[in-house]
Structure 1
């Protein structure tokens, strides 16, 4: 999917909502455990009921890998279902990969060719040769971890080295990578005080923003400092939407929560006009 196609969907749906499909069998409605593939059935219902409100879905691969082969098959079925039935939706493999070049190439093939995701999250710590193999794929996006929403982000990401915080160096250096036009960045919603500085470095890039909802991030503050001319934000909510209810009406409850966020986004976009 091209950036222009993503932007078109944002304006069509008046939404820049991304829903995280982080499925924990201990949290889904109990009646689904009787299904042959409870993870897929849960995802399918969430997707079918919220696709008109969301422009992206983001399965975190850890929640599938934890269940071994069965979990991976559930992930395969989920992405195939999305690509077949809702090809206009942007898909994100939240895998946080990043390794030496030949290994990164194989990771990229796994997520971009075999599973056919539109994008994948990447850790930048190993540098250029661990990132560029992902950037080599046309119409695919590499989402680099820049400034994350967890407390441990302060261990390294905001440390000042030679007069500049590490996350700023990551942003600046990554712009020099081959095919850097395919880069997006993860910036946590709990770090809104940093958004203005981030936009000075990457004014035109899309930012994937986790942390709104269950982690306490504020949508209005994120948009105040993070929006750009193309909107440039994908606001992710996982637990706050998919676990809105654990009874048989879970899909409707998820839709209601997604609608709340989408309506806020619609108001923000209308105000910008």
Structure 2
């Protein structure tokens, strides 16, 4: 999916919602456990109920690969089921070099045909470049995350007086463009989102941390939105585990609908869509 197609989806749905498919076998409703593929049955219902409001789905690959071959099968079926006009993100956080990086790119962009993948930047251009060779595909680079340990490195001040995350943004923005590179920016860092936006004004941000992690959607839009929206805001637990019984899909739909309505108001306030 190219940039203009993604923007058109946001405009059409008046939404910049990404639903995270962090599907945990221990957390899905018990009535699904007897199904041949409980993970896929859960994901299928979530997709059916939220596709009206979501412009992206983001399976966290760890939840699938932890289950071995059957997990990869569930992932493949899920990816095939997602409507083709909805952006797909492999939340895999890969970050290696040389042939290994190239094979990761082939795995997620050719074999599985995801639209994008999250990538760690700290081995430099060698680890990112192979992913950028695929036309119509996106790298989503970890820039400024919201976990506690992010302070260990990301905000460390370098000898040139810049925090490390700023150096990563400035350097990596030369490798790709707003047409094939996005950045992960945590929602729990309101003013920091604004600082990142000043460095990369035209790139899309994938923003986790809204909802269960305490991030504010209003703060994210205030500091991070640009004229084309420029945001994909992810909600995982807050949507997919909103309900615990046979009506879990309806509960997920209600939560997604609430977020979409808020997003429509924010688009009218801060964007030109």
CA contact (8 A) 1:135 1:180 kept: no
What SS does the aligned partner of 1:190 have? coil
Deviations 1:203-242 (A, max 9, x none): 0000000000000000000100100111000000000000
Select the structure that is richer in helix: 1
Write out per-residue CA displacement over residues 171-213 of structure 1, whole angstroms, 9 at most, x where no aligned residue: 0000121567411000000111211211111000000000000
Match of 2:65 in 1: 65
Matches within 5 A, 1:224-239: 224-239=222-237
Aligned to 2:104: 107
1:210/1:237 contact within 8 Å kept:
yes
For structure 1, the 5+ residue unaligned runs are none
Distance 1:222 1:271 in 2: 13
How far is the alpha carbon of 1:56 from its aligned partner? 0.2
Q: Where in structure 2 are there 5+ consecutive unaligned residues? A: none
Post-superposition CA distance 1:81-108 (Å, at most 9, x none): 11xxx11100000000010121111000
Q: Equivalent of 1:197, from 195, 198, 202?
A: 195
Q: Name the residue aligned to 1:218.
A: 216
Cα distance in 2 between the residues matched to 1:271 and 1:179: 26
Alignment TM-score, normalising by the size of structure 1: 0.97
Q: Is the 8 A contact 1:135 1:179 kept in 2?
A: no
Q: Distance in 1 between matches of 2:28 and 2:229?
A: 33
Separation of aligned partners in 2, 1:26 and 1:98: 29
Aligned-partner Cα distance in 1 for 2:185–2:140 = 10
- Counterpart in 1 of 2:165? 167
**Aligned with residue 239 of structure 2, among 221, 238, 241:** 241
Aligned 8 A contact 2:177 2:203 in 1: no
How far, CA to CA, are the matches of 2:92 and 2:179 in structure 1? 21
Q: What is the deviation of 1:270?
A: 2.0
SS at match of 1:208: strand
Counterpart among 101, 115, 118 of residue 118 in structure 1: 115
Is the Cα–Cα contact under 8 Å of residues 208 and 234 in structure 1 kept in the other structure?
Answer: yes
- Is the aligned partner of 1:24 residue 2:21? no
- What number of residue pairs does the alignment pair up? 270
The 2-side partners of 1:195 and 1:201 are apart by 10
Alpha-carbon contact 1:16-1:54 (below 8 Å) kept:
yes
Task: Work out whether 1:12 is the aligned partner of 2:9.
Answer: no
Find the counterpart in structure 2 of residue 94 from structure 1: 91
Taking structure 2 as the reference length, what is the TM-score of the superposition?
Answer: 0.97
Cα distance in structure 2, aligned partners of 1:104 and 1:184:
18
Residue in 1 aligned with 2:142?
Answer: 145
Structure-2 separation of matches of 1:44 and 1:207? 26
Aligned to 1:81: 81
Tell me, yes or no, if structure 1 residue 130 matches structure 2 residue 127. yes
